[in-house]
Amino acid sequence: MSLSFEICLRALFFLGMWNKMESRRCFIQGGDYMSIIKVQDLCKTFKVKTKEAGLKGSVKSIFSPNFREIQAVNNISLEVEKGEILAFIGPNGAGKSTTIKMMTGILYPTSGSIEVLGFNPSKERKQLSYKIGTVFGQKSQLWFHLPPLDSFNLLGHIYDIDNEKLKKRIELLKEIFEIGDLMDIPVRKLSLGQRIRCEIAASILHEPEIIFLDEPTIGLDVVVKQKIRELILKLNKEEKTTIFLTSHDSGDIEQLCKRAIIINHGEVVLNEAIKNMRRNYLSKKIIDIKYNETVNGENKNLNIIKGKGNALKVQVETSKENIDEVLNTLIKLGKVNDITISELPLEDIISYIYKQGTGGDEYACNT
């Protein structure tokens, strides 16, 4: 009796293991499952030592230190699909980097579950590291005093890439990232833009399925930023790499991502397609109009936010006002020389969402 019970138990255990392995295989081979990152009710609490101000506080903290718990990530749930470029944004201290560190297995979650490519990052960090790449804009994985080629060769060995394959891969990346002429210059002699190009190339040497980019364009000038964005798009398109991007630069989000997850105080405050974000949050339009002569813009039907000489700046709430009527009114004021209707910058929308999340100030147009 007990023997048959044990056999049943073992069979069930084996079946369970088999199912788990099978589901992982499907993930890895890009089978039925589309979500390659699944985060459920993720929480991370840090214990931080606190100290009262002054000498008395310092003495007290030696004998009875006080600790405070900080909830860095609070019940975050999200999913990322294969091939997606996702923006993961939030103000400083919102919990972005902590979430990325948990997704890459660097930090252990306090509670909740994470599955990246079928792996549990905190338990299977090593296996997962073969499948993901990371670029932390402010940190470098290249050896400062040596040329990038040395770091590339080292990373190739760390990721167990065969010599022949590594050679080919480096050649390809040299071409894609236009870094061929930088390969023998010590990293310390490279400009920030050149270094970031090498950093991204280094992080995808092992052909990762997902790449986590944490503020990759920080500190770069507009031209180099644009170049990096083009490379990220190329990477996504040609290598089918899923991109998980955090950035404070709305240009990165606007030009690269189709969907954004906004977090604040460790919680998801918005998970929305960029175009929906624009539609939902862009009920306000700005009309810049220039007349041939000075006009009197005093009209109770117009919300004039700036008026100077022959130019007016008018804000229209399209959900409440008819833009056609506003335009008619404006045209009747005088002979129009130039007119521009624009949407609010994404930056303003994001800032508005942050404020909404904190229950802060009402949105104020700052154009």
Partner 1 sequence: MHAIRKYSQVTKITMANSLVYFWNFLSKNVFFVFIMFIYLMLWRNIFAQKGSTSIGGFSLNAMIWYLIFTELVTLSRTDLHLQVNDDVKSGNIAYLLNKPYNYVLYCFSYFIGEIGIKLLTNALIGLAIGLIYAGILQNFRLVHLPFIILSLLLGCIINFFIYLCLALTAFWFEDNSAFFWIYSKLIFTLGGMLMPIELFPKWLQGISHYLPFVYVTYVPARLAVDFSFQSFAMESTIQLLYLGVFFALAMFLYRKGVKNLNVNGG
- Of the candidate spans 74-82, 90-98, 281-289, 321-329, the one that interacts with partner 1 by CB under 8 A turns out to be 90-98
How far apart CA 104 and CA 301 sit, in angstroms, is 54
Of residues 219-258, those binding partner 1 (CB under 8 A): none
Size of the site for partner 1 (CB under 8 A): 41
CB of 261 to partner 1, least distance (A): 17
Closer to partner 1 at the Cβ: 174 or 206? 206
Burial class (CB in 10 A: 0-12, 13-18, 19+), 35: middle
Q: Does 98 bind partner 1 (CB under 8 A)?
A: yes
How far apart CA 353 and CA 192 sit, in angstroms, is 32
Q: Does 363 bind partner 1 (CB under 8 A)?
A: no
The candidate with the shortest Cα–Cα distance to 216, out of 234, 188, 195, is 195
* Helix 222-238, helix 163-176: angle, nearest 10: 130
Residues with Cβ within 8 Å of 40's Cβ and at least 6 positions away in sequence, in order, are 77, 112, 113, 114
Closer to partner 1 at the Cβ: 49 or 300? 49
Identity of the residue numbered 245: L
CB of 23 to partner 1, least distance (A): 22
Q: Which of 1, 4, 32, 49 binds partner 1 (CB under 8 A)?
A: 49
**Three-state secondary-structure class, residue 108:** coil
CB of 65 to partner 1, least distance (A): 10
- 111-116 β-sheet, strand order: 66-81, 35-50, 111-116
How far apart CA 36 and CA 286 sit, in angstroms, is 40
Q: Does 96 bind partner 1 (CB under 8 A)?
A: yes
CA atoms within 13 A on the CB side of 319: 6
Q: Which of 16, 31, 93, 219 binds partner 1 (CB under 8 A)?
A: 93
Of residues 124-163, those binding partner 1 (CB under 8 A): 125-127, 129-130, 132, 134, 136, 138-139, 141, 143, 145-146, 150-151, 153-154, 157-160
CB of 154 to partner 1, least distance (A): 5
Residues in contact with partner 1 by CB under 8 A are 46-49, 70, 72, 92-93, 96-98, 101, 104-108, 125-127, 129-130, 132, 134, 136, 138-139, 141, 143, 145-146, 150-151, 153-154, 157-160, 214-215
